[in-house]
Amino acid sequence: MSILQIKNLHVTVETDQGTKEILRGVDLTIRSGETHAIMGPNGSGKSTLAYTIAGHPKYTVTEGEILLDGEDVLAMSVDERARAGLFLAMQYPVEIPGVSVSNFLRTAKTAIDGEAPALRQWIKDIKVAMENLRMDSSFTERNVNEGFSGGEKKRHEILQLELLKPKFAVLDETDSGLDVDALKVVSEGVNRAKDSVGFGALLITHYTRILNYIKPDFVHVFVAGRIAEEGGPELAERLEAEGYDRYVNA
């Protein structure tokens, strides 16, 4: 059983207009096996929270802490966090020319596990995971995210989730840009990975649509850099009906 604690997190970015505070005191605790949905309007700071957990250098933590099983995550480099068991499925995955998916996956797996995976099992694991995600096997020969469609990029993120088996997964708008069929395939992938690995998930989304496939235990409404309300799955339904106006204008 693992626990990820975010306490009173304040985060700023440098902009042309000076330093801007984006997160203003976020408190959140996630345990293994739990699924938390974070829902909020554009620009409320959802991706900032995700990137800050992963350690993106653009974001500066001015106050608060993030603890993974009591360990100080903020003191870790980006790659140390990943090796400690944090995974971020990105809203906009990056292209890496000349680096094949298979080379990338093997390098990542080796880094995370601290040793190279046994070759035959590894090839089999990739094959099965790709079949489940309805990805063509030729993807492994392509360069990372290069020329991938929006949906293919998202599948590739979930492929990594299945193979790297983190303790906690942050999924930043994994549902955006997917049609209903792709959404189903990707959601199944997340559920499968979750069932086999038992990670805690932080699911960031605008829409309730994905919550029909990935059932949240908790729903957090994120507005203006902090959590404005928390509840169970029923809160998502209310947001679906009422939108965020109530919080934004409050």
Site residues (CB under 8 A) for other proteins?
Answer: 54-57, 77-79, 81-83, 87-88, 90, 93-99, 103-104, 107-108, 111-112, 143-144, 160, 164
Tell me how crowded residue 190 is: count the other CB atoms within 10 A of its CB. 25
Site string (154-193) toward ligand ATP, x via CB under 6 A:
----------------------------------------
* Cβ-Cβ contacts under 8 Å for 17 (sequence gap 6 or more): none
CB of 243 to Mg ion, least distance (A): 18
Interface residues for ligand ATP in 10-39 (CB under 6 A)? 13, 15, 20, 22
Which residues, in sequence order, are bridge partners of residue 205? 39
Q: What is the helix (H) or strand (E) element at residue 12, kind and residue range? A: strand 3-15
Residue 15 vs 138, nearer CB to ligand ATP: 15
Residue 22 interacting entry, from Mg ion, ligand ATP, other proteins, none, C-beta within 5 to 8 Å by type:
ligand ATP
Residue 47 vs 160, nearer CB to Mg ion: 47
Residue 56 vs 209, nearer CB to other proteins: 56
The single residue listed with the structure tokens 């739990």 is 34
Site string (38-67) toward Mg ion, x via CB under 5 A:
--------xx--------------------
Provide the 3-class DSSP secondary structure of residue 70: coil
Residue 111 vs 116, nearer CB to other proteins: 111
∠ CA 7-26-211, rounded to 5°: 115
- The dihedral sign for the CA sequence 84, 88, 93, 94: negative
Which residues, in sequence order, are bridge partners of residue 61? 11
Q: How far are the Cα atoms of 37, 173, 216 from residue 219, in angstroms, in the given order?
A: 5, 15, 7
Residues near Mg ion (CB under 5 A) are 46-47
Residues near ligand ATP (CB under 6 A) are 13, 15, 20, 22, 40, 42-48, 58, 206
